[in-house]
Amino acid sequence: KECTSASRHCKKDISLSKLRKENIEGTSGRYHKIAFDQDSLEILGSFEQKWMRHVISYLKKDDDDDSSSQIYRSQLQLLTSMPGSVNQFFHQDNARKGLTFIIPLNDVTLEMGPTQLLPGSHRISRATTTTPTIAPTRIVHQRATATTDAATCNDDAKSGSSRSTWFQLKTPQQLLPFLEPIQNIIDVIQFCWKSEPMRLDVDAGTAIIYDARTLHRGLGNRSKKPRPVLVFRYDLVQYPPPQAGIIRTTIVRWFGAIINAICSVKGISDYITGRVL
């Protein structure tokens, strides 16, 4: 163990060769330990009981989720980002509502590549649990002629014949399921523009908690120290992660990059303006 008077933490050197042997490497420089012995599981389980009531309360509070649905721990892992690890791409832990806890095991600095969140970005998936199925109404149209009357139109509608047809929604309210995701995206951009992306440089033991739909990524570790964190994830049984295919994952990846770029430009602008004023 290496202990210094300047730090209240004692740290063990983390062997890269041991990490490669006992863990799964995801993106370059990130190692995932998902197998634990029974003693470790019991200790981690005792910690877990302290926040489970909050998990249950959050995941079952909305009417759009079945009140009878069961919650389960979908992931427990020790994630270690080694020096030299690269930026992850933006992603969601689940396209459906879930909850993620990240607990750093040592103090995290910006240089160590903390978790970065796009505040409010879970809203882009909010409509996916409430969007109803819309059955378009077929409208039959004919040019008015001296011989055309309501009875003729009704007969054409029954037979399916017409000079021109199109699909039309029954009511304007049925457009809302299509407009809501667009409005959610606008809300995310506006929210992020005001608050900027969050880079969570926090003390050891601080719980970082976010909705599984939130766009986030781990930043690259530019320090000389590893960054180990415990990750607990909770989801509903009927919506196991990730609830997304390649197309959605790619869209989320680029959407996150664009939002981050927009907000970064805004942050630079604010900084320059502040210096000038």
Q: Determine contact, residues 231/76, Cβ cutoff 8 Å.
A: yes
Q: What share of the chain is helix, strand, coil (3-state, %, to 5)?
A: 35, 20, 40
Quick: pLDDT tens for 72-94.
999 999 999 999 999 999 999 99
- Reading the chain (277 residues) residue by residue, the pLDDT tens digits are 334 333 344 444 566 666 666 677 778 889 999 999 999 999 999 989 999 999 999 998 764 545 457 999 999 999 999 999 999 999 999 999 999 999 999 999 999 999 999 888 888 775 444 433 333 333 333 333 334 444 444 444 454 444 444 445 445 566 555 666 677 777 777 776 776 678 899 999 999 999 999 999 999 999 999 999 999 999 999 999 988 889 988 888 888 888 888 777 655 555 454 443 3
Q: Tell me the C-alpha to C-alpha distance, in Å, between residue 53 and each of 28, 35, 56, 60.
A: 36, 25, 5, 11
pLDDT single digits (tens) 148-158: 444 444 444 45
First to last CA, the chain: 49
Q: Are 203 and 107 in contact (CB under 8 A)?
A: yes
